[in-house]
Every structure is written in C-alpha cells, then in structure tokens.
Amino acid sequence: MGILEDKSRARLFYKYLSKVYDTVNPFIWNERMRDDALAMLDIQEGDRVLDVGCGTGFATEGILQHTENVHGLDQSVHQLQKAWAKLGKHDPVSFYRGDAERLPFEDDSFDVVWSSGSIEYWPNPVATLREMRRVVKPGGQVLVVGPNNPKSTVMQKVADAIMLFYDAEEADRMFREAGYTDIHHYEMGPKYDPDVALTTIGRDPEDE
C-alpha cells in the first residue's frame, strides 16, 4: 500500500496541495480530457449525478454542463473550501464532507456516479467501488478515472510506493469483483503523455 493510501496522510497532503491544485491539475487532467470522459456517459438533463472525491470542483463544473442536479463529496475540507469558493456550498451543487468508503446516501440514489483523481487514495478500491454501485440506480453508470500504470518497471515501483497505479486488466478485475457489468476502459492524457490516465466505465446490473 502506498503512503498516500492512508486517509490521514491523504488529508494532510491535500491540506497543502489544495493551495496550488487548480494550477497544477491542468497539466495532468485538463478540460478536454474531462469533457471527453463526460461524453462517454449517458447523462440526461435532470439526472442526479454524484462526484466522489470532487476536490476543488473541477469535474463538478463539467458535470453541471449536462445536468443541474449535481452532488459532490470529498474528505478534505481544504479541497472543499476551494470548491465552495467557486460554486457555493448548496447551490448549484450540494457538497458533502465524507468518506468514499461510506457514502452518506441511500441505495439507488443517483443516475450516474463519477470519480476522477480519487481511486489512487482508496485503501480498499473494490469495497469503495461496491459502495458506489450501491448508491447508483440499477442499470446506472459509474465512471472512475485513475492513474495508468507507468510503462517502466522502475517507475512502477516508485509509483506504487506512493499510491495506487493500475492498468486496464487490474481495473477490469476490480470492477468485476465489485459486481459491475458492461465494463470499458479508455487511456487518456494530455498530448505530451496521452496514456497517463485510465478511465473505466461500468454499469450496475439491472436484474439484481
């Protein structure tokens, strides 16, 4: 387990990263990538969408272009303060401070669940994916963006010492163990590193 796959360490990390997050983030996860990932989802006007690990609200702003019924959750109050400054605490987005492993929502609460830049900090990704599947409606989509495994063996070891990095095969395993069907993976990235991120989409089975 990487050093940042510990919740208290991750909160401390984001206490300081939050000060420069919106400046640094576009070099790794930019608007084009966010919008391309959103285009992969079947978000209808009025759909209730949850952004897990919403951070400073970068993805949340993109989701608002598709529906006005948006909810964001993050464990870092420092990241949320940045999101509140952009979007307010309750309107147009309802924000919550909470844990992705224990989402404070009832079963089948959302039409779509989104998470970008969060899975790499989850101590138990499969359990958290199950929790996200719990709150999405039957047949609903869950999209997760995380860091693709580096190609170099040396860099893989360095990356794994910090947080979770994984490839499409590992993403497929995690999503299947969590009970998803109709799973698809897409490599994404800025022009200088076009496969730095891995986007995975799965559905909650309708017949359960």
Residue 3 confidence class, pLDDT cut points 50, 70, 90: low
Among 44-48, 97-101, 147-151, the range scoring the smallest mean pLDDT is 147-151
Residue 52 confidence class, pLDDT cut points 50, 70, 90: very high
The whole-number pLDDT of residue 154 equals 39
Residue 149 clears pLDDT 90, i.e. is over it: no
Residue 50 clears pLDDT 80, i.e. is over it: yes
Q: What is the mean pLDDT of the chain?
A: 87
Find out whether 204 and 137 touch, Cβ atoms under 8 Å: yes
Q: How confident is the model over 112-141, as a mean pLDDT?
A: 96
Q: Of residues 101 and 23, which shows the higher confidence score? A: 101
Half-sphere exposure of residue 160: CA atoms within 13 angstroms, side-chain side: 12
Angle at 31 between CA 112 and CA 125, to 5 degrees: 45
Rounded to whole angstroms, how far apart are CA atoms 205 and 23? 39
The whole-number pLDDT of residue 20 equals 57
Rounded to whole angstroms, how far apart are CA atoms 205 and 137? 9
Find out whether 60 and 83 touch, Cβ atoms under 8 Å: yes
- Residue 186 to residues 28, 50, 115, 151, 169: CA-CA distances in angstroms? 16, 21, 15, 16, 12
Q: How confident is the model over 50-70, as a mean pLDDT?
A: 96
The whole-number pLDDT of residue 155 equals 47
